[in-house]
Amino acid sequence: MSKRDYYEVLEVSKDAAERDIKKAYKRLAMKYHPDRTQGDKSKEEQFKEVKEAYEILNDDQKRAAYDQYGHAAFEQGGHGGGGGFGGEQDFGDAFGDIFGDIFGGGGRGRGGQSRQRRGSDLRYNLDLSLEEAVKGKTLEIKVPTFVSCDPCDGSGAKKGTSAKTCSTCHGHGQVQMRQGLFAVQQTCPTCSGKGKVITDPCTSCRGQGRVEKEKTLSVKIPPGVDTGDRIRLSGEGEAGEHGAPAGDLYVQANVRDHKIFVRDENHLFCEVPISFTTAALGGDIEVPTLEGKVKLKIPKETQTGKMFRLRGKGVKSVRSHSIGDLMCKVVIETPVSLSGDQADLLRQLEEKMGKSTSKHSPKETGFFDGVKNFFDDLKS
């Protein structure tokens, strides 16, 4: 490992503020990360060098020791004390920490001290009617979760007391065990990596800093949501232990099936039954929309399955201002429960049309002509 000046490694001045050091570290760590450099060994060494410099300069005590003694402060038996840094951090640990430092994860904070772990994210499945999903609505939901304990204000310690620094790890959350030439860092067994110990726990939460509770939340459903869409409520998830920040709550929409309409993204589909008289002679019918009934003109000689498009009668997209269409499929309904006179009239109609079937029923005639030709071909 190179022993270049740590300030030079991070490309910052000796009086650089903490935010400038962190900013430089993020930039250089991303630049030299092995995932980006594709196995370039020199870049890997630079990555480890940047990591080492950041670990020192981002910790007030280590930075002060480095400013006074230089690299000697962290060598075996040097002035810095405390077990040294040098080559004791293995390569895998450097890779594991980089994403935590940049993206907010990881289990250790500055100087190796344990960070508070935020609470878990929660998911709430919310059933909605099609009308609620299309028009939007504000609803109240009840969510069972962990919330911050009021008597101890989430600290876990009895009111009037506070957690004490762990005497085993001195607040770092980890202890170092030497095994021959190697040094292994492990989670402190006394404080379980928290860095602090509660000697007088809160009786309400038993030292956890949170309690189980069902809380009522107001959720604003935007117009146009569909099944699978999620609404994020920041900080409304599970409270973290010992005053750690809460996670988030994700409300996931599930739109129930509708009796009339079927939704496909921003379009709506429905089947509209019409009489064979209307289909044959044409006429106006009323069809349903989510905004009320509208008139639809049926042209004469309409066949079953014909699709009519009503533009702008669908769903407004939740992600844009575009509005879908309503697709109406007409289905010709065969008369049922006919009286004797009605049945006789239909027979008379059939007799009058029978001599010119190809004219009045071209599809039927074409189909059976095709069937006849098929069997004739089989015989030949």
pLDDT digits (tens, 9 = 90+) for 330-340: 888 888 788 88
The sign of the CA dihedral 332, 336, 341, 347 is positive
Residue 84 belongs to domain with CATH number: 1.10.287.110
Q: What is the pLDDT of residue 328?
A: 92
Asked whether residue 87 is assigned to any structural domain, the reply reads: yes
Q: Are residues 313 and 344 in the same domain?
A: no
pTM, full prediction = 0.52
Instruction: Select the more confidently predicted residue: 43 or 79.
Output: 43
User: For strand 164-165 and strand 196-197, is the pairing parallel, antiparallel, or unpaired?
Assistant: antiparallel
Residue 148 belongs to domain with CATH number: 2.60.260.20
Q: Residue for token digits 């991070």? A: 10
Confidence check: pLDDT of 94 > 60: no
Asked whether residue 153 is assigned to any structural domain, the reply reads: yes
Confidence check: pLDDT of 108 > 50: no
The chain-wide mean pLDDT, for the chain, equals 77
Confidence check: pLDDT of 374 > 80: no
Q: DSSP letter string over 31-85?
A: HH-HHHHTT-HHHHHHHHHHHHHHHHHTSHHHHHHHHHHGGGGGSTT-TT-TT--
Domain boundary among 239, 255, 271: 255
Lowest-confidence pick of 32-46, 162-176, 192-206, 255-269: 32-46
Q: What is the pLDDT of residue 267?
A: 92
Query: What is the share, in percent, of the chain residues with pLDDT greater than 70?
Result: 78
Q: Are residues 204 and 134 in the same domain?
A: yes
Lowest-confidence pick of 59-73, 74-88, 292-306: 74-88
- Which ranges in the chain belong to alpha helices (H)? 6-10, 18-32, 34-37, 41-57, 60-69, 91-103, 130-135, 276-281, 340-354, 357-360, 362-379
Rounded to an integer, the average pLDDT of 94-109 is 39
Q: Are residues 44 and 64 in the same domain?
A: yes
Instruction: Select the more confidently predicted residue: 367 or 105.
Output: 367
Asked whether residue 176 is assigned to any structural domain, the reply reads: no
Q: Are residues 53 and 13 in the same domain?
A: yes
Query: What is the band of 268 on the pLDDT scale with cuts at 50, 70, 90?
Result: very high
Domain boundary among 209, 240, 255: 255
Asked whether residue 53 is assigned to any structural domain, the reply reads: yes
Q: Which domain holds residue 310?
A: 262-333
Query: What is the share, in percent, of the chain residues with pLDDT greater than 90?
Result: 5
Domain boundary among 235, 255, 275: 255
Overall number of domains in the chain: 4
**What is the number of H-type helices and E-type strands within the chain?**
11, 15
Q: Are residues 349 and 323 in the same domain?
A: no
Q: Are residues 344 and 322 in the same domain?
A: no
Q: What is the pLDDT of residue 370?
A: 64
Q: Residue for token digits 């609505």? A: 137
- What is the per-residue pLDDT across 112-133, written as a single tens digit (0 to 9) for each? 444 567 778 888 898 999 998 9
**Helix/strand/coil for 326:** strand
Q: Are residues 51 and 142 in the same domain?
A: no
Q: Are residues 251 and 127 in the same domain?
A: yes
Q: Residue for token digits 């509208």? A: 294
Asked whether residue 185 is assigned to any structural domain, the reply reads: no
Lowest-confidence pick of 19-23, 106-110, 156-160: 106-110
Confidence check: pLDDT of 319 > 70: yes
Rounded to an integer, the average pLDDT of 252-262 is 90
Query: What is the band of 309 on the pLDDT scale with cuts at 50, 70, 90?
Result: very high
- What is the per-residue pLDDT across 276-305, written as a single tens digit (0 to 9) for each? 888 888 888 888 888 888 999 989 888 888
Q: Are residues 228 and 311 in the same domain?
A: no
Asked whether residue 248 is assigned to any structural domain, the reply reads: yes
Asked whether residue 114 is assigned to any structural domain, the reply reads: no
Asked whether residue 230 is assigned to any structural domain, the reply reads: yes
- What is the per-residue pLDDT across 150-186, written as a single tens digit (0 to 9) for each? 888 888 888 888 888 888 888 888 887 766 556 677 8
143-146 long-range Cβ contacts below 8 angstroms, 24+ apart: 143/214, 143/215, 143/216, 143/217, 143/236, 143/249, 144/212, 144/213, 144/214, 145/212, 145/213, 145/214, 145/215, 145/237, 145/238, 145/239, 145/249, 146/119, 146/210, 146/211, 146/212, 146/213, 146/238, 146/239
Q: Name the strand (E) or helix (H) holding 237.
A: none
Query: What is the band of 375 on the pLDDT scale with cuts at 50, 70, 90?
Result: low
- What is the per-residue pLDDT across 221-250, written as a single tens digit (0 to 9) for each? 889 888 888 889 888 888 777 667 888 889
Q: Are residues 268 and 154 in the same domain?
A: no
